[in-house]
Amino acid sequence: MSGEEITSSANPRVKAAVALRDRKDRDTRGESLVDGAREIRRAIAAGVELVELFMAPGMITSDDAQSALAAARARGARATTVSPHVLARLAFGDRSDGLVAVIRTPPTNLDRLVLPSRALVVVAEAVEKPGNLGAILRSADGAGADALIAADPRTDVFNPNAIRASLGTIFSVPIASATTPATIDWLHSHHIAIVVARVDGTVPYSAADFRGSVAIVLGSEAHGLAGTWSGPATQAVSLPMLGIADSLNVSAAAAILLYEARRQRSSS
């Protein structure tokens, strides 16, 4: 295990980990931070490389945290004991399990995705808020989606807040990041039908057919979808908006469409 307890946030390894809160550091080093026992366990289960594990032993009380620690040890991860104060500096969320990990960011090339026949894919374009990306991943995991593609993302996919909001499902749902044109090309070449959610969509979403290979495409809250998501191979569907607002939260729209696809697939 770890040797001495680190009690100062000025420790170089602690500083290097804290620096991963900045996207620039994450991009340069190809690493990110995972806060939380469940999230760390899910990263390990998915085969993600643990660079380092910081732990505050007195805070490791939950079963989840103990099994995350055991899994990390079994993988031979370098574990570093820190004081509760130092762990608080490293932690991201408002709850703490006493564990924060540095991981090697998994690759997100589109050409790594391997899909089954009748694939269910969700595409989130220009997502800005890591919390929204994480929430969409949770619904994608629950609905059994085969992949999530972040098209022209405005956040890095493995942003610590996206990892946290996904509860670690970011490690189990196959995920890729690409430009919008590359995403469209890839969907076409894989014969995946495109269903885009638009305020002005002409078909009610529940009348669309989600039973074949299909990608559900969601735009950013601020800007909607790029104009390139149109054309004959693309069906624009709408969600009923019966109140005063003209759109749903993007993660609510994703949940509704993913579960409608799941419902149709189960009953077909």
Decide: is 206 part of the binding site for a second copy (CB under 8 A): yes
In the complex, what is the shortest distance from the CB of residue 75 to a second copy, in angstroms, rounded to a whole number? 18
In the complex, what is the shortest distance from the CB of residue 183 to a second copy, in angstroms, rounded to a whole number? 22
In the complex, what is the shortest distance from the CB of residue 231 to a second copy, in angstroms, rounded to a whole number? 27
Which residue number, 182 or 248, has a Cβ lying nearer to a second copy?
A: 248
In the complex, what is the shortest distance from the CB of residue 138 to a second copy, in angstroms, rounded to a whole number? 6
Distance CA 146, CA 122 (A): 8
CB atoms under 10 Å from CB of 78, counted, come to 14
Decide: is 18 part of the binding site for a second copy (CB under 8 A): no
Decide: is 211 part of the binding site for a second copy (CB under 8 A): no
Q: Max alpha carbon distance in the chain (Å)? A: 64
Non-local (6+) Cβ contacts of 258 within 8 A are 120, 122, 139, 140, 142, 143, 145, 216
Decide: is 199 part of the binding site for a second copy (CB under 8 A): no
Decide: is 159 part of the binding site for a second copy (CB under 8 A): no
Place of tokens 């574990």: 79
- Window of 6-14, 18-26, 152-160, 169-177 that interacts with a second copy by CB under 8 A: 169-177
- And the tokens for 265? 């697939």
Among 32, 37, 42, 162, binds a second copy (CB under 8 A): 42
- Window of 63-71, 149-157, 208-216, 251-259 that interacts with a second copy by CB under 8 A: 251-259
In the complex, what is the shortest distance from the CB of residue 148 to a second copy, in angstroms, rounded to a whole number? 12
Instruction: Choose among 123, 119, 155: nearest CA to 136.
Output: 123
Size of the site for a second copy (CB under 8 A): 38
Decide: is 172 part of the binding site for a second copy (CB under 8 A): yes
Among 43, 110, 127, 140, binds a second copy (CB under 8 A): 140
- Window of 1-9, 74-82, 227-235, 252-260 that interacts with a second copy by CB under 8 A: 252-260
Distance CA 125, CA 102 (A): 27
The beta strand positions in 12-88, using DSSP E, are 31-35, 50-55, 79-81
CB atoms under 10 Å from CB of 2, counted, come to 14
Return the sign of the alpha-carbon dihedral for residues 12, 43, 161, 220. Answer: positive
Provide Rg for the chain, Cα atoms. 20
CB 66 within 8 A of CB 40: no
| Residues in touch with a second copy (CB under 8 A) | 42, 45, 135, 138-144, 167-169, 172-173, 206, 239-245, 247-249, 251-256, 259-260, 262-263, 266-267
